Amino acid sequence: MDLMELLKLLGIVIVVVGFALKLDSILIIMAAAIVTAVVSGMDPMTFLSTMGKSFVSNRSMLIFVMTFVITGTLERNGLKQAAAALMSKFKGATAGIVLAAYGVFRVIFAAFNVGFGGVAGFVRPVIMPMAQAAVEEDGRPIADEQLEAIKGMAAGMENVTWFFGQVLFVGGSGGLLVQSTLAELGYTVELIDIAAVEVPVAIISTLVAIVYYIIVDKRLTAKYHAPVAAQNGGEK
């Protein structure tokens, strides 16, 4: 690799260093793009044309960006507090029950290929505050270890239910991927047959995730909140 080929990698270096120094993200990306274009000998018109084509071909990514903007706006205006207030009306609810209910709800909607924004757009701003409020119902703040564990379980529930549930949608990307993969191996299958086979798999995987997360939640509750509850009961 000669010197010119190495210089074309300057854009990557700029991105890595810029993010490491926590500089403005848009400024970093634009600087990397401009430097790469200059080093590659790209004229201004070709550079702008390439930028425009890339923007149009990847415009669906704007939906992902808008999800963050909308979520941040809702959180700033009390979405987290509203979710916590809702959970205060359900006595006896636990983080495990909240995640279990979401798992059932999520896999059903995944079967119809309905998304809610994933971890960033729905789990973090809605499900997590509800689960945290359920833990803090006894008046004691949630422990850091328990909070991090619930974050992982909430993300895991989203991934499991969406991964197995979306294949139930006939014509969805998951089913098409399975169909094309089997076709390359010499097996011709219909999408409806793939969905039918996937039904018990989706149900079992969701139930396993629910049972596992409820067990983990009970252990965490016993570790961080049961002693307080017992002490409060003794004081009464």
Sign of CA dihedral 85, 207, 212, 114: negative
Q: Within this chain, do residues 85 and 114 fall inside the same structural domain, yes or no?
A: yes
Q: What is the pLDDT of residues 131-183, one digit of tens each?
A: 888 888 877 888 889 999 999 999 999 999 999 998 888 777 777 888 888 88
pLDDT at residue 205 greater than cutoff 90: yes
| Residue, of 147 and 229, whose pLDDT is higher | 147
Among all chains, which residue has been given the structure tokens 């500089």?
23
Q: Within this chain, do residues 135 and 27 fall inside the same structural domain, yes or no?
A: no
> Sorting pLDDT into bands at 50, 70 and 90, what band is 214?
very high
Last residue of a domain, one of 42, 59, 76: 59
- Percent of all residues in the chain with a pLDDT value above 70, rounded to a whole number: 75
> Sorting pLDDT into bands at 50, 70 and 90, what band is 230?
very low
Distance of CA 123 to the CA centre of its chain: 7
pLDDT at residue 21 greater than cutoff 70: yes
Q: Within this chain, do residues 44 and 110 fall inside the same structural domain, yes or no?
A: no
Q: Within this chain, do residues 12 and 86 fall inside the same structural domain, yes or no?
A: no
Q: Within this chain, do residues 170 and 90 fall inside the same structural domain, yes or no?
A: yes
Q: Within this chain, do residues 68 and 100 fall inside the same structural domain, yes or no?
A: yes
Last residue of a domain, one of 59, 86, 104: 59
Span 121-140, average pLDDT: 83
Q: What is the pLDDT of residues 66-98, one digit of tens each?
A: 555 555 665 566 655 666 666 566 667 889 999
Q: Within this chain, do residues 72 and 50 fall inside the same structural domain, yes or no?
A: no
Q: Within this chain, do residues 85 and 39 fall inside the same structural domain, yes or no?
A: no
Which of the residue ranges 37-41, 49-53, 76-80, 152-156 would you say has the lowest mean pLDDT? Answer: 76-80
Last residue of a domain, one of 17, 37, 59: 59
Q: Within this chain, do residues 25 and 139 fall inside the same structural domain, yes or no?
A: no
Q: Within this chain, do residues 27 and 144 fall inside the same structural domain, yes or no?
A: no
Q: Within this chain, do residues 183 and 221 fall inside the same structural domain, yes or no?
A: yes
Domain count, the chain: 2
pLDDT of residue 30: 81
Q: Within this chain, do residues 165 and 50 fall inside the same structural domain, yes or no?
A: no
pLDDT at residue 106 greater than cutoff 60: yes
Q: Which domain holds residue 47?
A: 3-59
Among all chains, which residue has been given the structure tokens 């961080």?
224
